[in-house]
Amino acid sequence: MSSRRSLFLSIFPPNSPTPPNPLLRLGFSMRKRNPVLVLSSSDEEGNGVRGCATSDSRCSSSRVSSSASAARKRPRGRGSRKNLHSASRDRHVVEFDLPSEEFCDHLHDLSKTPGITQTDKKELWTEKHKPHSLADLAVHKKKVEEVKRWLEERMKAPKEGIENCVLITGRSGVGKSTAIHVIASLLGADLCEWMSPTPTLWEEHVHNSNSGIQYMSKLDEFESFIEKIRKYSLLHGAYAEELRKPTILLIDDIPVTKGRASFSRLRKCIKTLVQSAQTPTVILITEYHKTEPVDSATEFWEELESSIEQAGAYKVAFNPITENSIKKTLTRICQEEKCDVPAQWIDHIARVSGVPSDTHGELNYGSPSLFLTRSSGDGHTNPQISLPWGRDEKITLFHALGKFLHNKRETPPALAPDLFTLKKKYARNPLKMDAPEEVLLQAHGQARTITDFLHENVLDFVSDEATDSGWVVNSYLSDADCILASIVHPKFCRITETNESDSVRELVAASVAVRGVLFGNSHPSPSRWHTIRTPKHWQIEQTSRHSKIQMLPERFATYRTSSFCSLSSIATEYRPMIKWFYSPVNVHAHDNISESLHREDDMDCTDGSLEGKKSEESEEDDIEDW
């Protein structure tokens, strides 16, 4: 079995429960371009520390035996340092064992829970309580059955001409890879995974390019891998001695691309894979885009999915895990670990890990937090306290805006034995929400957007009698705008200032805007239903920019001047005056000016300059006839 997780364990001592400490990571980054070592690209490695060249030679020795089978299906053929110092191997292993043991010791210190045997905790619970049978899986039975049937069919009769690909989609943590692993072991098939390379750091790249090693992106690697298995059917060759045992190819980690060109390359790649696959192939796609609404890559993933489907893959979508099945699993773990956790805690963990709007059912998340529950508390603390290790609860921007605009406050306490009393006009009751800055953080709002939205909508929420609120609010918004402007505008930004100060400034600006609104809106209007509008001035800005661009050529074409004239004078002098030429109505009849402004606008946009010129000329003719 060569899953991602077990591979990880084969390199570390099997009982090391956590990502390696810096010393270990150093070793890995040194050897990352070594072709024989198998590392997964999961985040355990990758951020290596540079600068210790002495350990390089030792680290370059490789441990073939431990991961030989996996190494062979490694797509990379470039062998830079293939000679193996098997002599130094033992020393090497010792070196690896040492720090990880230390690390384990530290971990033991962390969890001083009575009543648990020490040996129990050498594995993460996500590893330890990994489902081993179909019944254990939290995924919906039907879906699992579907995948299983499909795989069985394919393995029984590997027919030619039939699409050998299945695509499984689902949010992160719903158990896609786990399900595949369980099914594979159930069917007695070997699971081969494409191991994506370790990401290269920029410093590493600089270092490597000096030594002549070429950089290869993940996409490049993937491409060459696909090419290879297509041409040489490498998987069969690698497993020639055990041909009878069927294999399943698992592609878990599709490279993320940026830009059209690389995306089309990836698509082509996957298409060839789907169409030419000899062995049953499983492609997993995590639907990040559905959990992260801000992610701009939505269309990318959707397009990829649809293109895989078009190529003929069979698609199975895993639904998010329900809260109940998370609870069931957690309870099972609790029973196995023989610890009594209050039911509320389990409920809470299940709820937090499966907030309906946000991240649907993440089992990966559930069990670590249960582990933490166990290790930190003695199980009898107040269940009311919120779990400090909970995932950040996210709220939408509109939710946050609603909070700010409605400005709900506590009723004033009966007695206020303050050290000093504020003047009445400065005094406000305490807010019925978290600190505004925290709400802002949860809403992931950008300062500019928040300010604009507040500006657009705040007046609806101010009661009509409160005349001064409008000003206070507006003066704060104007402050916020000034602070914000200095970020984007390089005009007032000194060169020495760095990005950090900008981000602080953005925080300050957002906070000034929000607190200004909260403070200024001292008499909020009685709460009722309000719609929140998008800021109108976005649209206004756009149209005015558009008409600005139009103005100058228009003037030039129409009146053949030989020099520029400033836009403001066109807007304030030429255009209003010229309008009188076109509409020779009585000067006194200008009741609704706004309409005339509109009319002029329409005319300018639709007629174009030519017609305008004509009408002017004809008018002049009329006058001369007089």
Partner 1 sequence: MLWVDKYRPRTLDKIIAHEEIAQNLKKLVSEHDCPHLLFYGPTGSGKKTLVMALLKQMFGPGVEKVKLENKMWKIDAGTRTIELELTMLSSTHHVEMNPSDAGFQDRYIVQEIIKEMARNRPVDTKGKKGFKVLVLNEVDKLSREAQHSLRRTMEKYSASCRLILCCNSSSKVTEAVRSRCLNIRVNAPTEEQIIKVLEFIGKKENLQLPPGLTARIAAQSNRNLRRAILSFETCRVQQYPFTINQALPPLDWEQYVSEIASDIMKEQSPKRLFSVRGKIYELLVNCIPPEIILKKLLSELLKKLDSELKHEVCHWAAYYEHRMRLGQKAIFHIEAFVANQSLVQMEPVSSFDHLKDSLCASFSRISYV
Residues 514-533 that bind partner 1 (CB under 8 A): 515-516, 519
Cα 449 from Cα 510, distance rounded (Å): 9
In angstroms, give the least distance from the CB of 519 to partner 1. Answer: 7
Q: Does 468 engage in binding with partner 1 (CB under 8 A)?
A: yes
Cα 511 from Cα 329, distance rounded (Å): 42
Nearest to partner 1 of 159, 423 (CB atom): 423
Q: Return the structure tokens found at 118.
A: 């020490």
In this chain, which of 107, 124, 441, 532 binds partner 1, going by CB under 8 A? 441
Nearest to partner 1 of 192, 462 (CB atom): 462
Cα 567 from Cα 573, distance rounded (Å): 10
Q: Does 534 engage in binding with partner 1 (CB under 8 A)?
A: no
Q: Does 407 engage in binding with partner 1 (CB under 8 A)?
A: no
SS3 444: coil
Helix axes 499-520, 397-406, angle to 10 degrees: 40
SS3 612: helix
Per the CB < 8 A criterion, the answer to whether 47 and 24 are in contact is no
Side-chain-side CA neighbours of 65 within 13 Å: the count stands at 5
Which of these ranges, 127-135, 170-178, 302-310, 551-559, lies near partner 1 under the rule CB under 8 A? 551-559
- What are 193's strand-pairing partners? 250
Q: Return the structure tokens found at 139.
A: 């995924």
Residue 566: C-alpha distances to residues 556, 570, 572 (Å): 12, 7, 10
In angstroms, give the least distance from the CB of 569 to partner 1. Answer: 5
Helix axes 22-30, 89-110, angle to 10 degrees: 150
Nearest to partner 1 of 372, 473 (CB atom): 473
In this chain, which of 50, 132, 149, 548 binds partner 1, going by CB under 8 A? 548
Give the residue among 167, 414, 125 at the shortest CA–CA distance from 285.
Answer: 167
- How many angstroms separate the first and last alpha carbons of the chain? 101
Which of these ranges, 115-123, 236-244, 327-335, 571-579, lies near partner 1 under the rule CB under 8 A? 571-579
Cα 296 from Cα 306, distance rounded (Å): 17
Nearest to partner 1 of 283, 513 (CB atom): 513
| Contact residues for 211 (Cβ-Cβ < 8 A; gap 6+) | none
Q: Return the structure tokens found at 558.
A: 């129409």
Q: Does 463 engage in binding with partner 1 (CB under 8 A)?
A: yes
Give the residue among 328, 281, 345 at the shortest CA–CA distance from 139.
Answer: 328
Residues of span 579-598 touching partner 1 by CB under 8 A: 579-581, 584, 587-588, 590, 593-594, 596-597
Q: Does 153 engage in binding with partner 1 (CB under 8 A)?
A: no
Q: By rule CB under 8 A, what string of x and - marks binding of each residue 601-620 to partner 1?
A: x-----------------x-
Which of these ranges, 101-109, 153-161, 374-382, 558-566, lies near partner 1 under the rule CB under 8 A? 558-566
Q: Return the structure tokens found at 361.
A: 């059912």
- Fill in the amino acid letter for 595: E
In this chain, which of 179, 371, 512, 612 binds partner 1, going by CB under 8 A? 512
Size of the site for partner 1 (CB under 8 A): 94
Q: Does 476 engage in binding with partner 1 (CB under 8 A)?
A: yes
Looking at residue 491, the DSSP 8-state letter turns out to be G
Per the CB < 8 A criterion, the answer to whether 339 and 116 are in contact is yes
In angstroms, give the least distance from the CB of 513 to partner 1. Answer: 9
Q: Return the structure tokens found at 193.
A: 């995974």
Q: Return the structure tokens found at 528.
A: 């009722």
Q: Does 245 engage in binding with partner 1 (CB under 8 A)?
A: no
Q: Does 577 engage in binding with partner 1 (CB under 8 A)?
A: yes
Cα 223 from Cα 28, distance rounded (Å): 24
Looking at residue 232, the DSSP 8-state letter turns out to be H
In this chain, which of 471, 497, 611, 618 binds partner 1, going by CB under 8 A? 471
In angstroms, give the least distance from the CB of 467 to partner 1. Answer: 5
In angstroms, give the least distance from the CB of 500 to partner 1. Answer: 12
Per the CB < 8 A criterion, the answer to whether 352 and 362 are in contact is no
- Strands across the sheet with 190-193, in order? 190-193, 247-251, 281-286, 165-170, 314-317
Nearest to partner 1 of 146, 437 (CB atom): 437
Q: Return the structure tokens found at 499.
A: 């990005």
**Alpha helices in 218-316, H assignment, sequence order:** 218-232, 234-238, 260-276, 288-291, 298-310
In this chain, which of 65, 83, 384, 561 binds partner 1, going by CB under 8 A? 561
Q: By rule CB under 8 A, what string of x and - marks binding of each residue 410-439 to partner 1?
A: -------------------------x-xx-
Nearest to partner 1 of 156, 423 (CB atom): 423
Cα 492 from Cα 5, distance rounded (Å): 52
In angstroms, give the least distance from the CB of 81 to partner 1. Answer: 35
Nearest to partner 1 of 50, 533 (CB atom): 533
Residues of span 480-499 touching partner 1 by CB under 8 A: 481-482, 484-486, 488-492
Q: Does 572 engage in binding with partner 1 (CB under 8 A)?
A: yes
In this chain, which of 118, 382, 499, 562 binds partner 1, going by CB under 8 A? 562
Which of these ranges, 135-143, 274-282, 338-346, 537-545, lies near partner 1 under the rule CB under 8 A? 537-545
In this chain, which of 504, 527, 530, 611 binds partner 1, going by CB under 8 A? 504
Per the CB < 8 A criterion, the answer to whether 234 and 59 are in contact is no
In this chain, which of 564, 605, 611, 614 binds partner 1, going by CB under 8 A? 564
Nearest to partner 1 of 240, 577 (CB atom): 577
Cα 202 from Cα 200, distance rounded (Å): 6
In this chain, which of 203, 392, 573, 602 binds partner 1, going by CB under 8 A? 573
Which of these ranges, 46-54, 89-97, 114-122, 549-557, lies near partner 1 under the rule CB under 8 A? 549-557
Q: Does 479 engage in binding with partner 1 (CB under 8 A)?
A: yes
